[in-house]
């Protein structure tokens, strides 16, 4: 029986780096999302997201060492996240997930989580 984490099965740091770089390349040109992210620190935002996802999926716990408890809903409270922002975020993420060179069942597992997590981050009614 395999005891490997999703992180390992999916290819480790390289996969999460590919995912997040692809995602932020799309965020950088997205008219809804770009203004929400820090002007000069898209790279820092990318690093935070990558470390969080690596930790969530069983990789190194660097995220919490650097940032403490994730409390993601609370950390997103300062951003106006309505259904349009969620859809824009998911659209960029869908493209990034689809671009990964990993098995389809791993993509599906990753995507299911990201969709649920994005829904839980909405903090503004339509």
Q: How many residues of this chain bind ligand HEM (CB under 6 A)?
A: 22
Contacts of ligand HEM in 79-118 (CB under 6 A): 79, 81, 85-86, 89, 114, 117-118
Report the residue number, 100 or 114, with the smaller CB distance to ligand HEM: 114
Q: Which stretch binds ligand HEM (CB under 6 A): 6-14, 17-25, 35-43, 94-102?
A: 35-43
C-alpha dihedral sign at 87, 92, 95, 100:
negative
DSSP state letter for 35:
G
Q: Measuring CA to CA, which residue among 34, 21, 17 is closest to residue 89?
A: 34
Does residue 8 come out as left (phi exceeding 0), alpha (psi in the -120 to 50 range) or beta? alpha
Interaction of residue 48 with ligand HEM, rule CB under 6 A: yes
Interaction of residue 20 with ligand HEM, rule CB under 6 A: no
| End-to-end Cα spacing for the chain | 46
DSSP state letter for 26:
H
Q: Which residues bind ligand HEM (CB under 6 A)?
A: 36-38, 41, 44-45, 48-49, 52, 67, 72, 75-76, 79, 81, 85-86, 89, 114, 117-118, 121
């Amino acid at each position: 029986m395999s005891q490997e984490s999703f992180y390992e099965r999916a290819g480790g740091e390289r996969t999460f780096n590919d995912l997040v770089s692809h995602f932020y390349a799309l965020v950088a040109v997205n008219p809804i999302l770009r203004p929400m992210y820090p002007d000069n620190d898209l790279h820092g935002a990318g690093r935070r997201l990558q470390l969080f996802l690596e930790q969530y999926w069983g990789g190194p716990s660097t995220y919490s060492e650097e940032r403490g408890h994730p409390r993601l809903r609370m950390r997103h409270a300062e951003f106006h996240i309505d259904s349009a922002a969620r859809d824009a975020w998911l659209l960029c993420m869908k493209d990034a997930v689809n671009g990964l060179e990993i098995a389809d069942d791993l993509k599906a597992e990753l995507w299911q989580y990201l969709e649920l997590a994005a829904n839980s981050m909405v903090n503004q009614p339509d």
